Amino acid sequence: MKNKTKSLRLFTAIALVAFAGFSAFAVVNTESETPAQENQYWFNMNSAGNTPLPGEVAQNNLPCAEKNEVADCARRYSESQTTGSGASRTVIPSQINNHNDYRSREN
């Protein structure tokens, strides 16, 4: 009887350790497959509303809050769509119409 109890306890302990190990592996494996979120930057548009001005703008400093049909006030781009940093950050010319969010001027 004592041998059965010892064997059962040993089997339970091994099963718990194995379960914990496999669970930890699954969590680490899932996290490594998730891509990192890319930084996003807002840019004011020129007066014609078709070219982003150099220098990123904080979202709470955007001159417009509306999101109508035309993206003529400000546009948001991913870091990979820009070059430079801070006040010298600009949108890569081939990415100008590939913005991922925008704000419109009030009419």
pLDDT tens digits, residue range 31-87?
Answer: 545 456 889 999 999 999 999 999 999 999 999 999 999 999 999 999 999 999 988
Beta strands (DSSP E) in the chain are 40-44, 74-78, 82-83, 90-91, 101-103
User: DSSP assignment, residue 64?
Assistant: -
So what's the pLDDT on residue 68?
A: 92
Looking up tokens 């969010």 gives: 101
Q: Which of 14-18, 21-25, 66-70, 102-106 has the lowest mean pLDDT?
A: 21-25
How many residues are listed for the chain in this entry?
107
Look at residue 25 in the predicted model and tell me its pLDDT. 57
